[in-house]
A and B are shown apart, each in its own frame.
Chain A
Amino acid sequence: MSDISLTIIDKAGTAHALTAGSGQNLMHLMREHVDMTIGTCGGEISCGTCLVQLGDGWAGGSVSVDEQDMLEALDAAPGCRLACQLSLEPTAAGITATIVAD
């Protein structure tokens, strides 16, 4: 299993270079290595604390109705996703994800 390199930018603007395996959940990865205050609901699409702005190169795959409704309720900008709904894929290699501040 090849590791995927990516960059996470935290709420203070600091960049964190990480590597993770394919299939890794992005919210769990960020909570473990970058910011333990995100992912309050654990992936139930009910808190919105793991909102990320994905950089060019990877859109994160399909968006469920629950996630879409939550993105709209959060008034999220285009290109934003809930990290808890994202599993890393090889095509995500090299992307930057910015944690959106409240």
Chain B
Amino acid sequence: MDKTFPESATLDRGYDKIPLPFGWFAVAASEEITVGDRKTFRYFGTEFVIWRGEDGQLRAVDPFCPHLGAHLGVASEVVGNDLRCAFHHWTYNGEGGVTEIPYTRFVPPKLKRSCLPAWPAAEVDGLVYVWYHPNKGAPKWEVMALPPCPEGEWVEEERHEWSVNIHVQEITENGQDHAHFASVHGVPGAPSGEFRLDGWVRRNIVEATMNTPRGPMHGKIDNFATGPGQTITQFIDVTHVVLLQTVTPIDRENTHIRWKLYRQSNLSDGKMRVNQARMRDLVKQIVQDIPIWNAKRYVPNPLLVEGDGPLLAYRQQYARFYDFESDAAAE
């Protein structure tokens, strides 16, 4: 992962004033945790431990054993579908309940129910997601899957990841920042189209001019975000590329971006070339964004003019992901 520190790292960039949003966030590729594996992850300014039981299911828990504080990611072992702490061999299931204590008469009923906070975990399209909520609030929506492939099936063509020195909210805000497309990316013409905010979902459908090897080409960009962690963007013209972007807070000032780029199966050579150029162009664009992200500051009251795009509407919706007291269910 490329990690570039900004020259202004000692300046106040405003990120300690924004909390981390709740939501589903990608934390690993599925193959990084095989059956019997357990791994410690550092995201959201904390740590958690994920293991895969012999049934193939993932389970995630807080890192410290509530018994006497051992780190459950250190020298612990997956036993069946459970995780056994190295310190005294207490064994936990995925709900954080104790299933075995080798030296006491029976597992106390209260501990059997749950005594170790668990994290909701899901696995969709080859990525492992956990539900982060600072108060351990329950998930309010489901992880979004790839749209159905209109013809054949999706082929994962490329994968990229970056660690960026910025708060997670700022990365997806960039998509609402219309004016930067011309100045930073040299995309001809500002995108125009519909922008919808609905509950936990944000959707932009724009008719845009995209760069291709044969010059600018008119097409449709359908950008669909559910929650703060996941965006699926479809680029549709003579071909159809899908970008699955996940953004995961490492802490308030650092974010892990993952990209998976998909194309349709059984493409002609010509369409493959258009696809490859599209993917190259997308990667080029984020590489252009990253140095700006790495050093920019969060401006709570930005000076906006006509042509800047719906940044404030985006922020207004995003504030819902900071409503940690609300029990509002999925919409």
Alpha-carbon distance A70/B110, docked complex (angstroms): 8
Task: Tell which of A14-22, A28-36, A44-52, A53-61 binds the partner.
Answer: A44-52
Q: For chain B, which range describes its interface: under 10, 10 to 19, 20 to 34, or 35 or more residues?
A: under 10
Encode contact with B along A37-80: 1 for CB under 8 Å, 0 otherwise. Answer: 00000001111100000000000000000100110110000000
Alpha-carbon distance A48/B101, docked complex (angstroms): 15
Q: Does chain A have a CB within 8 A of B126?
A: no
Alpha-carbon distance A86/B104, docked complex (angstroms): 24
- Residues of A within 8 A of B (CB-CB), count: 10
Q: Does chain A have a CB within 8 A of B103?
A: no
Nearest residue in A to B106 (C-beta to C-beta)?
A73
Nearest residue in A to B111 (C-beta to C-beta)?
A46
Nearest residue in B to A46 (C-beta to C-beta)?
B108
Chain B interface helix/strand/loop/mixed: loop
Residues on the A chain within 8 Å of B104, using CB: 47
Alpha-carbon distance A47/B104, docked complex (angstroms): 9
Alpha-carbon distance A72/B108, docked complex (angstroms): 10
Q: Does chain A have a CB within 8 A of B300?
A: no
Tell me which residues from 92 to 137 in chain B have a Cβ below 8 Å from any Cβ of chain A: 104-106, 108-111
Alpha-carbon distance A47/B109, docked complex (angstroms): 10
CB of B47, distance to nearest CB on chain A (Å): 24
Residues on the B chain within 8 Å of A46, using CB: 108, 110-111
CB of A36, distance to nearest CB on chain B (Å): 19
Alpha-carbon distance A33/B110, docked complex (angstroms): 28
Encode contact with A along B213-256: 1 for CB under 8 Å, 0 otherwise. Answer: 00000000000000000000000000000000000000000000
CB of A71, distance to nearest CB on chain B (Å): 10
Alpha-carbon distance A66/B106, docked complex (angstroms): 14
Residues on the B chain within 8 Å of A47, using CB: 104, 108
Alpha-carbon distance A48/B110, docked complex (angstroms): 12
Alpha-carbon distance A59/B231, docked complex (angstroms): 59
Alpha-carbon distance A71/B242, docked complex (angstroms): 58
Alpha-carbon distance A70/B105, docked complex (angstroms): 12
Alpha-carbon distance A54/B110, docked complex (angstroms): 23
Residues on the A chain within 8 Å of B108, using CB: 45-48, 70, 73
Alpha-carbon distance A46/B111, docked complex (angstroms): 7
Alpha-carbon distance A25/B108, docked complex (angstroms): 21
Alpha-carbon distance A61/B171, docked complex (angstroms): 56
Interface residues of B (CB under 8 A from A): 104-106, 108-111
13 A-B contact pairs sorted by A residue (CB < 8 Å): A44-B110, A46-B108, A47-B104, A47-B108, A48-B105, A48-B108, A69-B110, A70-B108, A70-B109, A70-B110, A72-B109, A73-B106, A73-B108
* Given contact pairs A45-B108, A73-B109, a sample of 12 additional A-B residue pairs in the complex whose CB atoms are under 8 Å apart: A44-B110, A46-B108, A46-B110, A47-B104, A47-B108, A48-B105, A48-B108, A70-B108, A70-B109, A70-B110, A73-B106, A73-B108
**The 5 nearest A-B residue pairs measured at CB:** A69-B109, A46-B108, A66-B110, A45-B110, A73-B106
